Amino acid sequence: MNLNWQQDAILIVDDTPTNLKLLFEMLNNSGFKVSIAKNGESALEKVHDIIPNLILLDVMMPGIDGFETCRRLKANPKTKDIPVIFMTALADTVDKVKGLQLGAVDYITKPIEYEEVLARINVHLELRKTQLKLIQKEKMSSLGVLVAGIAHEINNPVNFISGNLSHAQRYIDDLFKLLNLYEINTSHPIPEIQDLHQEIELDFIKQDLPQVFASMLVGTSRVKKIVQALRVFSRLDESEIKSVDLHEGIDSTLMILNNRFKAKSERSEIEVIKNYTQLPLVECNAGEINQVFMNILVNAIDAIEESLMTKKDSLTENKGAIQIYTALTHNQKSAIIKISDNGIGMSQDVQIRIFDQFFTTKPVGQGTGLGLAIAHQVIVEKHRGTLEVTSVPKQGSEFIMTIPVNG
């Protein structure tokens, strides 16, 4: 599958057949993946199915004209970021300005100059590529920064508590000892002491207090573990590439997602089945790899939730499950991680596009369509590993990645 930008998809919208033909041939010969629309309406329909990387838009068209088409493209969150280049007649300054005001990135004038069109298209595709990379980077780092920030903020207060708990426990022990001595050596305490003794239920306190302390200790040690997991997850304080225990990374990601696995009013708990084989330390950028685990696991949870929604009646029989399997490849050179779910699954059509930037089947606002594009970039391009998927609609999906052990 071609996931890079060699196959730049360009949509040409023009009602003049000769123009369409000329542009189509020219761009097609230059290696672009060109699709065409003969009017604004069909252009708006086309972008629903496949989002092009750039649109060449004629101004003068019957039906909704280029301006209106552009306005509608810009009004739709899914298409608003596609660069639009207007095509206008040479003298139309007003049109050029209007087009740019509507959010077009550029214009070209008719009759069309081959070299100029190509140069402008390349400039805008390059800009778009840079923009996408920035969005990805932002997405990658913002979660890491947030998580590291929270870990840092919680770390101090939880250390106060856990550090002081042992002192408090010792003081209380001492006070009880003293109290016992008083009790033994005071045969007839004054009524006031006797009353208070009963009122506060001293015997119960003596029994209960050690348990109170024990549960506080369990609580703080759990918070400390969470903080530790957050730190492992974000790995902000460490150098980029280092030897990493991948299981630790998966576990910290699971811990962060813990709340999403729990039972909800509309579904039962999602079971996580771990099947780890012993792995050597793997040289990689742990923060980025953890981000990949996160993206794949979140997708798996989403897929399970979607599947359970369609099987509402038999919720009790249908339990969501995610399996995580790790091993070494035969030649021992790479670690394999398989993450599978019994969620909604994917059709073949969806499968071939899931690694494309901005490809999503989730409602607007819920999915950005970047999760797997980022995963692909991190695993395949940065770590020279592999990332593949197999899936059966309505049954589930499996993501299989390999990461070279020695970088």
Ligand X SMILES: Nc1ncnc2c1ncn2[C@@H]1O[C@H](COP(=O)(O)OP(=O)(O)OP(=O)(O)O)[C@@H](O)[C@H]1O
- Specify the residue, 109 or 361, whose C-beta has the smaller distance to ligand X: 361
Nearer to ligand X, 84 or 297 (CB): 297
- With a CB cutoff of 8 Å and minimum separation 6, the contacts of 256 are 147, 229, 230, 233, 294
Residue 220 partner contact from Mg ion, ligand X, none using kind-dependent CB cut-offs of 5 to 8 Å: none
| Cα–Cα dist 298/180, whole Å | 56
Looking at beta carbons, which residue is closest to ligand X?
A: 371
Helix (H) or strand (E) holding 275: strand 271-275
| Phi, psi of 275, rounded to the nearest 5 degrees | -130, 75
List CB contacts of 273: < 8 A, sequence separation 6 or more. 321, 322, 323, 324
Amino acid at 60: M
**Which stretch, 116-124, 224-232, 261-269, 299-307, contacts Mg ion (CB under 5 A)?**
299-307
Write the DSSP assignment of 134-163 as a string of letters: HHHHHHHHHHHHHHHHHHHHHHHHHHHHHH
Nearest to Mg ion of 299, 377 (CB atom)? 299
Q: Which is nearer to ligand X, 121 or 257 (CB)?
A: 257
Query: Where along the sequence are the contacts to ligand X (CB under 6 A)?
Result: 295, 299-300, 303, 341, 343-346, 350, 354, 359-362, 367-373, 397
Three-point CA angle 253, 255, 260, nearest 5° = 95
Q: State how far the alpha carbon of 8 is from the alpha carbons of 22, 121, 125, 245, in Å.
A: 18, 10, 8, 38
- The answer to whether residues 112 and 135 touch, using CB atoms and an 8 Å cutoff, is no
Please choose, out of 81-89, 161-169, 178-186, 363-371, the segment that lies near Mg ion by the rule CB under 5 A. Answer: 363-371
Q: Which of ligand X, Mg ion, none binds 11 (CB below 5-8 Å, type-dependent)? A: none
Q: Which is nearer to Mg ion, 371 or 385 (CB)?
A: 371
The interface partner of residue 350, options being ligand X, Mg ion, none and the CB cut-off 5 to 8 Å by kind, is ligand X
Q: Which residues contact 230 (CB under 8 A, 6 or more apart)?
A: 147, 148, 150, 151, 154, 252, 256
Of 21-29, 96-104, 201-209, 364-372, which part binds Mg ion (CB under 5 A)?
364-372
Residue of 40, 83, 287, 371 that binds Mg ion (CB under 5 A): 371
Q: How would you classify residue 37: left for phi > 0, otherwise alpha for psi between -120 and 50, otherwise beta?
A: beta
When the beta carbons of 226 and 373 are compared against ligand X, the nearer one is 373
- If binding is defined by CB under 5 A, does position 343 make contact with Mg ion? no
Q: How far apart are CA 78 and CA 49, in angstroms?
A: 11
In the complex, the smallest distance separating the C-beta of residue 291 from ligand X, rounded to whole angstroms, is 11
Tell me whether residue 140 or residue 370 sits nearer to ligand X (CB atom): 370
Binding range to Mg ion, per CB under 5 A, among 65-73, 186-194, 213-221, 294-302: 294-302
**Candidate segments 205-213, 232-240, 320-328, 370-378, binder of Mg ion by CB under 5 A:** 370-378
Taking CB under 5 A as the criterion, the residue among 299, 307, 342, 357 binding Mg ion is 299
